[in-house]
Amino acid sequence: MCGRFAQFTPLSELMEEFEIDQNLSNAEPSYNISPGQEISVIVIDNGKKIVRMKWGLIPSWSKDMLGAYKMINARAETITEKPSFRTSFKKRRCLILADGFYEWRNTGNEKIPVFVKLKNGEPFALAGVYDFWKSPQGNIIGSCAIITTEANDVFKSVHNRMPVAIKKSDQKLWLDFTQDEQMILPFLAPPSVDDVEFYEVSRDVNSPKNNNADLIKPGGNN
């Protein structure tokens, strides 16, 4: 799964890196994003835009928000079948901007946090789906979920699942809702073992209250 991640590259740089037409997000940079927080997401809506959404999908047909932020992840293997995600997968795919994500290695006695990032240090785009929910008061809330899949051979030593990262060469098709699902499904693979690296970080990341650059330093203050 993916329960925490980091999104701290300035939006001005992301605009250029991902060839964005318009930025509509004022989500704050964060080294420790947790479910329910607001994040920056790329969508297609009369152009390629960065918008702000809450992390944790609330399907449009939900009666309320109770338990909504538990749906932070969608499994790639069942995304075309699950009622909460299948329509969004067809019509509302997005790219969730990230500089890295956290996972916890189970050592038996305790869980050790590790940070996962691209070896080249660049930001990347996680596969996501989104939806809009209208509250009884008439407020429209945009929310999203990160798609996960089986971990690659190296990361399996930490956890059996990891988020899907969409390659730059595939991002245009991923955001194109006219594409047949069978063209998109092959994108739902784990990052190549040659592209990513991970290392242990400070246990301070265990608390969402902690949010600073020290959290992603190798070793931290363990």
Which of the following is catalytic: 2, 38, 77, 94? 2
Query: Measuring CA to CA, which residue among 114, 34, 36, 108 is closest to residue 68?
Result: 36
DSSP state letters, 30-91: EEEE-TT-EEEEEEESSSEEEEEEEES---TT-SS-TTGGG--EEEGGGTTT-TTTHHHHHH
Active site residue 2: yes
Q: Which of 103, 110, 144, 200 is catalytic?
A: 103
Q: What is the signed CA dihedral for 42, 22, 102, 153, rounded to 10 degrees? A: 50
Is 77 annotated in the active site? Answer: no
- Contact predicate 39/58, CB 8 Å: no
- Catalytic residue numbers read 2, 103
